[in-house]
Amino acid sequence: MSKHMITLNVNGEDHDIVVASNKTLLEVLREQLNMPDTKYGCGTGECGACSVLLEDNSAINSCLTLAATMDGKKITTASGLEKGDKLHPVQQAFIDHAAVQCGFCTPGMVVKSVSLLAKNPRPTEQEIREGLEGSICRCTGYVKIVNAVEAASKAMAGTAG
Partner 1 sequence: MSSRVLTDFDLLLPGSLEEALEILDRERGAVTVLSGGTDLLVMMKAGFEADKVMSLALLGDLNRLEFDSATGLRIGARTTLAQLVDSPEVRQHYPALWQSARIFATPQLRNTATVVGNLLRGSPAGDCSAAVAALGGTLVMATAGGGRREIDIDDLWVSYGVTARADNELAVELRLPAPDSGTASAFKRLTRVNEDLAKLNVAVCLQMDGDTCKSARFAMGCVAPTMIRLPAAEAIVQGAKVDDETLARAAEAVQQDISPIDDKRSTAEYRRSVAGVYLKRAVQQACGFA
Query: What are the residues facing 75 on neighbouring strands?
Result: 10
| Residue 142 binds to partner 1 (criterion: CB under 8 A) | no
Rounded-to-integer distance, Cα 102 and Cα 155, Å: 25
CB 49, CB 39: distance < 8 Å: yes
CB 62, CB 25: distance < 8 Å: yes
Binding piece for partner 1, criterion CB under 8 A, among 56-64, 76-84, 94-102, 139-147: 56-64
Considering only 8, 28, 49, 59, the residue that binds partner 1 (CB under 8 A) is 59
Return the beta strands (E) in 21-150 as ranges. 51-53, 59-61, 74-75
| Residue 55 binds to partner 1 (criterion: CB under 8 A) | no
Q: Where are the alpha helices (DSSP H) in 60-139?
A: 89-96, 106-119, 125-131
Please tell me whether residue 66 adopts helix, strand or coil conformation: strand
Question: Shortest Cβ distance from residue 155 to partner 1 (Å)?
Answer: 22
The site map against partner 1 for 89-128 (x = CB under 8 A) is -----------------------x--xx------------
**Footprint on this chain of partner 1 (rule: CB under 8 A):** 1-2, 4, 20-24, 27, 30-31, 40, 42-46, 48, 51, 54, 58-61, 64-66, 68-69, 112, 115-116, 130-131, 133-135
